[in-house]
Chain A
Amino acid sequence: LMTAKSLASKETVNGRCWFYSDDDDGISVYLNRELHAMNTVVAQLQTQFQDYLVSLYQQGFLDNQFTELRKLQDEGTPDFVAEVVSLFFDDCSKLINSMSRSLERPENVDFKQVDSGVHQLKGSSSSVGARRVKNVCISFKECCDVQNREGCLRCLQQVDYEYKMLKTKLQDLFNLEKQIVQAGGAIPQHFPSYTILRPDIRPCLDA
């Protein structure tokens, strides 16, 4: 089918693929091949995404509340989760800074302020499913309760480490999401993997 007559060419204009040929067979063969290739790429990316997501749960970075957050995201609000976690990370940064200041001088620690910060951090980490961060907050609170400055400082360091680690991991996750969408696929919502093509790509078959 790779004769001069049936050879089709392809170009991408504004994110849409256009196929050119001087006969219909060429178009459909080419389309099928393209679609198959796309499907393969999409399927690979989707598997990669799901495997990565599952690993984040398995390693304890995320818990079920993150799953709940993903439920709130749809085509109309594709960046919802990313936006919420971004706000959470901003929160982390601010609270860690202010708690650090409160813990700075050993002779004058404002444990009430630190406790308030830990409480807030625990709350928001729990709301987004940031499991490791939340768990550090639990230990942190215990140190606060007994006014253990050294313990608090250790927890502060740990919480800083954990939120930054999670931030990196989620950034990688969101990048995978973008790649899937760009390749014409849909973001898998459930843990078992299967391939779906985005509705706006499918009409190309009718062209």
Chain B
Amino acid sequence: RGRANENICELSLVLNFNILSSQLLLLLSAMASDGGVSCLRRSEMMSVGIGGMDSPPLDVDEVHVLAVDDSLVDRIVIERLLRITSCKVTAVDSGWRALEFLGIDNENASAELDESSSFRQVPVVIMSSENVITRIDRCLEEGAEDFLLKPVKLADVKRLRNYLTRDVKLSNGNKRKLPEDSPPLTLSPDSPDSSPPPSTLSPDSSDSSSPPLSPVEIISSQLSSPIDDEDDDVLTSSPESSPSPVRRQKMRSPGLD
């Protein structure tokens, strides 16, 4: 079900496929109104069934990302970014093709499914070049795990990769993803996220038992002026500045190196 609404389409997505034993992530770009997919309703989003097994054997390190973007240039870049961070990638150019890949029959897309069935949930991450807070909030409220502001950087993808793996490991008991070295968390303070974030993403957590973030995520990015002026420091290797000062913490793109 797609409905055009100022460049954002709302898609009710029901997933019921038997493809992979690896963790799947849906990475969606906000696209033009025809065939575009940008936001998912969590209440109607079902988890994934794997061949009828209750607890499928999970290769926790293998992440499969289904990236959806109508721009060829962006698809190539995101594909490379994901491959470099050891993700398996399938890149498609529209929401319809994404549904095809997932094996969803368009007619059944609006059918209600039994929520008690044992499926896993597919996390959804939205990408957009537009830094509109209300829209970002709406995406998160509707069930998106995270929001990436374009242009997407290596640090963004690494962060994504890390918390996906970590989430999975958490659910498998006390396994923890240890960083190579762990400097103290220094994410700068911001207005706290209204919706309760998963504890793994909370930078304010001083709880030592929560899994430490890997070094890449710890560098705080600088707040800066609008997007046109973000290029002043390009010759230094200082962390990349993010465009919006009001941006939610978990969407911040940490600087690298």
> Which A residues are within 8 Å of any B CB, using their own CB?
54, 57-58, 60, 62-65, 67-69, 71-72, 77, 80, 83-84, 87-88, 91, 116, 119-120, 122-124, 126-129, 131, 135, 138, 190-191
Which chain A residues lie closer than 8 Å to B230 at the CB level? 63-64
Cβ B234 vs Cβ A63 within 8 A? yes
Can you name 5 extra interface pairs (CB under 8 A) apart from A72-B77, A127-B74, A190-B237?
A71-B154, A72-B84, A91-B73, A127-B150, A128-B73
> Does more than half of chain A's interface fall in helix, strand or loop, or is it mixed?
helix
Asked if B240 lies at the interface with its beta carbon under 8 angstroms from chain A, I say: yes
Distance in angstroms between the alpha carbons of A88 and B224 in the assembled complex: 27
Mask, B52-89, CB within 8 Å of A = 1, is: 00000000000000000001111011001100100000
Partner of B73, one of A72, A116, A124: A124
Asked if B6 lies at the interface with its beta carbon under 8 angstroms from chain A, I say: no
Cβ A126 vs Cβ B129 within 8 A? yes
Cβ B235 vs Cβ A69 within 8 A? no
Provide a sorted-by-A list of 21 A–B residue pairs whose CB atoms are within 8 angstroms. Answer: A54-B235, A60-B231, A63-B230, A64-B234, A65-B151, A71-B154, A72-B77, A72-B80, A72-B81, A72-B84, A80-B80, A87-B72, A91-B72, A116-B32, A122-B129, A123-B129, A123-B150, A124-B73, A126-B150, A127-B77, A190-B237
By beta carbon, the residue of chain A nearest B128 is A123
Cβ B73 vs Cβ A84 within 8 A? yes
Mask, B146-157, CB within 8 Å of A = 1, is: 000011111000
Q: Which 4 A-B pairs have the closest CB atoms?
A: A63-B231, A124-B73, A64-B234, A127-B151
Asked if B114 lies at the interface with its beta carbon under 8 angstroms from chain A, I say: no
